[in-house]
Amino acid sequence: MAREQLQTLTEPMYYILLALTEECCGVDIMEKVRTLSRGRVTVGPGTLYAMLAKFEEKDIIRLTAADGRRKSYIITDAGREELKKEFERLQTMVRDGAFFFR
């Protein structure tokens, strides 16, 4: 799910979706995001819980397993497409900025 008015993903959203490119248990996502971002990005449990619910509602991710309260998710094709668009947008921004910061 993007920020509807800007059509972009926030940093936590981006890293959560990156973490879910492989099937992952919800409670492990926080640690995975920290690892992927080398400790730079931290997602709190409240933020994560709310985002997983919204992503699932928007069909960006899907539930793959539920063991009691523990649920596992994986990104859907639509979610992968959103993630790819965001990655390309960020790459374009880096390329445009490279001229000024060479």
**Which of 12, 82, 2 is CA-nearest to residue 40?**
12
Which residue type occupies 102? R
Is residue 93 within the footprint of other proteins (CB under 8 A)? Answer: no
- Both tokens of 98, joined, read 């490279």
Of 18 and 30, nearer to other proteins (C-beta) is 30
Considering only the stretches 41-49, 57-65, 72-80, 84-92, report the one whose residues sit in contact with other proteins under the rule CB under 8 A: 41-49
3-class SS string, 4-50: CCCCECCHHHHHHHHHCCCCEEHHHHHHHHHHHCCCCCCCCHHHHHH
Q: Which of 40, 54, 70, 89 binds other proteins (CB under 8 A)?
A: 70
CB of 48 to other proteins, least distance (A): 6
Q: What residues make contact with other proteins under the rule CB under 8 A?
A: 26-28, 30-31, 42-50, 69-71
